[in-house]
Amino acid sequence: MERIYKACLLIIGNEILSGRTQDANMAFLGEKLNEIGIRLDEARVIPDVAERIVATVNEVRGKFDYVFTTGGIGPTHDDITSQCIADAFAVPLILHPEAYRLMLDFYGQEQLTEARLRMAHVPEGAELVENDISIAPGYRMGNVFVMAGVPKIMQSMFSKLAPTLTGGLPMISKTLSSSAKEGEIAGDLKEVQARFAEVDIGSYPFMGKGGTGVRIVMRSTDQQLLDHCAEQVEEILKLHG
């Protein structure tokens, strides 16, 4: 039996919960993690409240193989993620010599404000994750990867840390779209699902300008099984489309 590696994403930030900013990191990570054989198995969006961050980090780092956080590692007063990660691991927040050197090189002594220096502080024991975009690094602390919230920076950090992750087999997926109605294919679909226990068959209705219909998404780590399953689903959709 193939080991399944599971990850949890913590999106830290009031601005996502308020509806003002639409998160763009979850879909990116869901897809990229799968490519390296890691399933995004849960995501949580939590507010910028220290006790909530500490408690959630400690809960999920025990439950999942990997935890990724986004947001809250900038220079301003509302950037409290690093202190929370340090508290969660019960270690002090320290000035990281390499992070300091990177920041000093980039900003120079005069521009390296007290606020910017905050971004060179990491929990004791953390390993830096490079940031090609805006220098201030992310880091790994145990199985927790701490990244920026700005998508472009997060993506840069993820590209650096991804090669260090261990994953299993990626899920391969196959999608069939049809104008069939869910209520009419559901019985047959259930039977196909029963025959292919190792394929995860999802049925997703859609409504748009082009009309209504359904997308059947099949996922498995086994390409042959997936192809075989898709043939049978296709038959059903042909009958009802």
- 173 vs 221, which CB is nearer to a second copy? 173
Among 219, 229, 230, 237, binds a second copy (CB under 8 A): 219
Which part of the chain contacts a second copy (CB under 8 A), choosing from 45-53, 86-94, 121-129, 223-231?
Answer: 45-53
Find the binding residues for a second copy in span 60-99 (CB under 8 A).
74-79
Among 205, 231, 238, 239, binds a second copy (CB under 8 A): 205
One-letter identity of residue 72: G
What's the min distance (Å) between Cβ of 125 and a second copy? 26
**Dihedral of CA 164/165/171/177: which sign?**
negative
Closest to 69 (Cα-Cα) out of 120, 15, 122, 25 = 25
Check binding of 209 to a second copy (CB under 8 A). Answer: no
Check binding of 241 to a second copy (CB under 8 A). Answer: no
Cα 89 to Cα 221: distance, rounded to the nearest angstrom: 35
- Kindly report the number of other CB atoms within 10 A of residue 226's CB atom: 20
Check binding of 152 to a second copy (CB under 8 A). Answer: yes
Site string for a second copy, 14-43 (x = CB under 8 A): xxxxxxxxxx--xxxxxxx-x----xxxxx
What's the min distance (Å) between Cβ of 40 and a second copy? 5
The angle at the Cα of 180, spanning 174 to 183, to the nearest 5 degrees, equals 105
Closest to 70 (Cα-Cα) out of 153, 128, 143, 131 = 153
Check binding of 116 to a second copy (CB under 8 A). Answer: yes
Cα 107 to Cα 104: distance, rounded to the nearest angstrom: 5
φ/ψ (deg, to 5) at 42: -165, 150
Reduced 3-state DSSP string for 190-226: HHHHHHCCCCEEEEEEEEECCEEEEEEEEEECCHHHH
Among 203, 221, 225, 232, binds a second copy (CB under 8 A): 203
Which part of the chain contacts a second copy (CB under 8 A), choosing from 10-18, 91-99, 158-166, 222-230?
Answer: 10-18
Check binding of 174 to a second copy (CB under 8 A). Answer: no
